[in-house]
A and B are shown apart, each in its own frame.
Chain A
Amino acid sequence: MTGTSTLRIAWRNLGRNRKRSVLALAAIALGQFIFLAVAALMHGYMDEFHGSITGPMIGHAQVHAPVWLDDRSIDITIDNVTSALDAVRADPSVEHVSARIYAPVLTALTEEGFMSFVVGVDPASESHDDGLLPGLDAASLMGEGRVLAGSGFARRYDIEPGAELALVGQDVDGSIASGLFTVTQVISSPVDIVNNLGIVMTLDDAGELLAMYDQAHEMVIHTRDLDTVGETVARLSAVPALVDLEVLTWREIVPEMVGMFEMVDVMLLVVLGIVFVAAAAGIANTMLMATFERKHEFGMLLSLGCGPSRLARMITVEAVILGLVGVVIGTALGLGLLLITQQTGLDYAALGGASDSYEASYKGLHLSSLVYPRLYASDVLAGMIAVFLTALLSVVWPIMRIARMEPMEAMRL
């Protein structure tokens, strides 16, 4: 870099009014930081959300009897489940498939009676990471009258391992169903219904209780690649063993969630717009002031025969340096926040001033106020590009002024 290089001149010019440059830098850095913080929180939240939905709750795709989703009545069943499962499993892109049974029952514990929900599952095929019982040696805890209880449910009714539950309900034929079960473990699940009402038992126990033999209400599918789930579903729909059934992607099952993810993207775009405005205010103000202040200097250089394009380049480089330094500082701050909060998570409740973390549920999802921020390279890049474009935009007017400048006019004292 020689003494008169454009870069060096630009840098020194930014140092001329240090206070103003620092202020502009601060505005840009803060903008980028806020954008990254919001993006990281949103993604942390939404990715977990997304993971829960496409994990244990809905899976990537599901198979049911055609009207099950509208009605969820116990008698709307998938028959010949074993062969249906085999048919699904035969598809090369299917990684896991498991059948589930759902039935509302009345539970009696000593003298009390309350509403609960039987969830019948195959422990072996629900123990994978995205299953309903991840990492649990469920097979040894379930079967032959032994069941698991959701943590919210257990807390509410003081149910502890060893508790005996008497269940009464209606079986698939409309007759009275009843049975006695022992709780072996209390489990926490991101699926709201399991957590707050759930009595999780084996498919065999549930089938016996409800008189459902080789039947289930739903088959949950996890594919090897979520992006191509549409093609997998199309393929499965054509399989003979499944023709009378409905095969749907998670998007089709919970369209309102899909809408939510889209809304978050729009929100991030809005935040990005605010960053843009902050940067624009910082850079444009600086460049405008600088152009006014340096009128004589520019006039002198033009008088000497310096081309307006050279001056334009000078202030463009200045604006870009200002923007990029600001955005780099903002990014560093954002990454710092990420580093600090990534391990421990960030408690929304604490942010909002509440002393206790809370748990809540939304549309069947069980949510915690603890969020693990997550940042994508694309967010950082989006911020940088926004600032870079702002820098370019904010010199348009100054450049137009310079182009129209009459050297001796600008020089006049």
Chain B
Amino acid sequence: MQDVLVGASAVTKDFHVGKITVNALRGLDLDIHKGDFLAIVGPSGSGKTTLLNLIGALDTATGGKVEVFGQDLSGMSRRERAELRLRSLGFVFQAYNLVPVLTALENVEFVLELRGEDGGRRATAMSVLEDLGLGELADRRPNEMSGGQQQRVAVARAVAAKPRLVLADEPTANLDSENGESLLKMMRQLRDEHDMTFVFSTHDPLVVAYASRVVTIRDGKIVSDIRKNSGEEAPGEGVEVRRKGTEPPGDGTEVN
């Protein structure tokens, strides 16, 4: 058995735009396990970002239940959710990840400071950058870095405080495949070496190729949940497909 970090059951999310109600999520069940390198895929507008925002405590579900680290998010105040994000989650966004007036090092340092860590923040931030091979970017501001470099620094910042779960919304969307691949390698290494769990929303086949598990959603529902054999996460190898509804109830085990 694996630890369940996130449990979503019968989750619905409605948006009201004027008189129109958009059912972005329509009864969605998903468990995310420790060590997952999970890609949520689906066409544009299928609800990927909405789902990620619910898991990331950035928004609350209309119906159903979302539990993160065993805590039910629906009962939490704005402030409590912000605290949860700050303490236990890492985020990588598609763009605007970094504070423009801060250097790479200062950007990393800033989240450590936000978390109230004192003493040796700078050294911690530097060692995080160096561990990820980003040492030479330390003194560069975002506008002095390429998009790929910025995203790698964003990952460094997301993981600096050693969160248990890192959420990334289309992290490679603005990158070419080479940069996308090096970003993915970096994150997978973090997963392997630091026991972190990653969840992506993506369109990018490359992310799918690197993922250990691929969840496809369409119209706010999960239509497939594919788990690759562990240890074999190279593109196209050892893939096992399970269609939604065919899996045994309460399934949370690795299939291999």
Contact = CB atoms under 8 A, between A and B. Distances in A.
A3 B141 CA distance: 12
Nearest to A305: B86
Q: Which range holds the interface residue count of chain B?
A: 20 to 34
Given A4-B109, A4-B113, A303 B101 contact: no
A21 to B, nearest CB: 13
B86 A413 contact: no
Contacts of B58: 303, 407-408
Contacts of A297: 96, 99-100
Nearest to B81: A305
Nearest to A299: B96
| Chain B contact residues, majority secondary structure | helix
B84 interface: yes
Contacts of B114: 304-306, 310
Contact of A304 (B95, B102, B111): B111
A46 B91 CA distance: 65
Given A306-B86, A408-B53, A9 B102 contact: yes
Considering residues B83, B84, B100, which has the most beta carbons from chain A within 10 angstroms of its beta carbon? B100
A296 interface: yes
A161 interface: no
Contacts of B79: 307
Contacts of A304: 85-86, 91, 111, 114
Contact of A2 (B49, B95, B122): B122
Contact of B103 (A3, A299, A301): A3
A380 to B, nearest CB: 32
B102 A411 contact: no
B96 A296 contact: yes
B36 interface: no
A300 B59 CA distance: 14
A15 B84 CA distance: 33
A6 B100 CA distance: 14
A410 to B, nearest CB: 10
B165 interface: no
A16 interface: yes
Nearest to A4: B110
B122 A3 contact: yes
Contacts of A18: none
A116 B59 CA distance: 92
Nearest to A295: B96
B94 interface: yes
Interface string A1-23: 01110000100110110000000
A302 interface: yes
Interface residues of A, number: 24
B101 A411 contact: no
The winner among A13, A301, A305 for most chain B CB atoms within 10 A is A305
Contacts of A302: 82
A306 B99 CA distance: 12
Given A306-B114, A310-B114, A411 B93 contact: yes
Contacts of A299: 96
Contacts of B94: 413
Nearest to A296: B96
B225 interface: no
B124 to A, nearest CB: 13
B53 A305 contact: no
Contact of B82 (A9, A307, A411): A307
A303 B93 contact: yes
A310 B91 CA distance: 19
Contact of A3 (B83, B87, B91, B102): B102
A2 B121 CA distance: 10
Contacts of A310: 114
Interface in A1-49: 2-4, 9, 12-13, 15-16
Contacts of B89: 305
A411 B106 contact: no
Contacts of B113: 4
B217 interface: no
A309 to B, nearest CB: 10
A305 B84 CA distance: 8
B105 interface: yes
Q: Which of A299, A307, A408 has the most CB of B within 10 A?
A: A408
B59 A408 contact: yes
B229 interface: no
B84 A300 contact: no
B99 A301 contact: yes
A322 to B, nearest CB: 15
Contacts of B91: 303-304
Contacts of B87: 305
A122 to B, nearest CB: 75
B164 to A, nearest CB: 14
Contact of A4 (B56, B84, B102): B102
Nearest to A301: B99
Closest 9 CB pairs of A and B: A305-B86, A305-B85, A12-B101, A296-B96, A3-B106, A305-B82, A4-B110, A408-B58, A408-B53
Given A296-B95, A307-B79, 20 more contacts: A2-B109, A3-B103, A4-B102, A9-B99, A9-B101, A12-B101, A12-B102, A296-B96, A297-B96, A297-B100, A300-B96, A303-B93, A305-B82, A305-B85, A305-B89, A305-B114, A307-B82, A408-B58, A408-B59, A411-B93
6 contacts: A2-B121, A2-B122, A3-B106, A4-B113, A310-B114, A407-B58
